[in-house]
Structure 1
């Protein structure tokens, strides 16, 4: 599943081609995504200029004068910039076509993504209104995280993956951040000390920043807007490395299941 670094990489990749350009039409070949694509999406967006391209959590916001197109990549979605009208393939469900002929093509084999429309402030849309702070913003800090987990018996890995607490810390980056902070992923949130929470916040920010710089992680169907793979996974400390020696101490990496997701950790470094 594309996580925050992959979505931010995609945002940066498409921004150079779409920003301040005028939309000619939106071609919807299959509107049966996670939520139905509004049937009048093309008429709402036609002849509208793209004023900004923002990211909120794992949602992309294409802001127009009269509203905002909200895009979510789901589990297998990707966006590609095309310089001409190449024939659409089976899973190419939507094309956003600009007046200059460039098009943004949305591909989604599992159809678990979304193209939605919001009028007014898009951050008040039901899918965005209850989200927690961005992990790379100043408001996500030790004071904030302490206040949210002080009474929580839930494992810390599941807490930092809760989008109501903080957005965008997906499975890969949660495991990596906890390793760097030397915190066992099964530790209850209420058991963490203030110094541990402070270090964890720092490493969440550093891990995500490094992943964005590396273009995200290489996962099944994820490619950026140029069709290139991300390279963060090459440098992972624990994720996907079950049984392999820890890069720091040599102890074999272990994996457990938490919330139906695989968690990877070093039993020595994260004791």
Structure 2
């Protein structure tokens, strides 16, 4: 996706024992909870207080280690990729497993102050450039302009759709035609007292509660992004004559009802099914 950018390497991860972060004086500050910005696969992007200054961190949930990156407040996660400011414009995608910048996406003359990714879609907000926010369809490089002024923290991106909070309710836009088509009459009561709303980045649906605390789910018509492996922990090759056990993990972009693992012999070209399974999430 996009052009390959220059690369940089990250240092070794630091420990996050018991999901606590040491402060400068060696003690753990347990007075304030972590503020989760977003999570994807085995990684989580969150904020912690440190000497009265918020600090942004990326950690591996499975190992409990904080990775040696310094993301900005505009960053976001999708699988093993950390998207953040590019230079001079656009956003760069850094592979969290290697520390190398492997992708770049442009947003015109813009260095987004806020970004979101969901499947094949990326949202960028550029208030400093006085440009309208836009969504890029990554496979086709299509840039979809949005018909509203830049607003921070009032937009959630779904898979092929976008939800905007207004002063009177929620606006849902279908992006799959290459244009932002507003879906009318969606969740007008979503902003009444005691209600809340969110968007599932991995399934694309809007969820909101009304005044009676009833949860509503709203979908948008059209094809969702195809199933994809958004992260993996696996050796490039395996010699089963030398090892009896082989461990590998893949993280998927959405739940599946069944799966099949095949192995191809590089000498003969013969493919063999070695494992099958039923329901799998993440």
- Tell me if both proteins adopt one fold, taking TM over 0.5 as the criterion: no
TM-score computed with the length of structure 1 as normaliser: 0.28
**TM-score where L is the length of structure 2:** 0.28
Structure (1 or 2) with the greater strand fraction? 2
Structure of higher RCO (CA pairs closer than 8 Å, 6+ residues apart)? 1
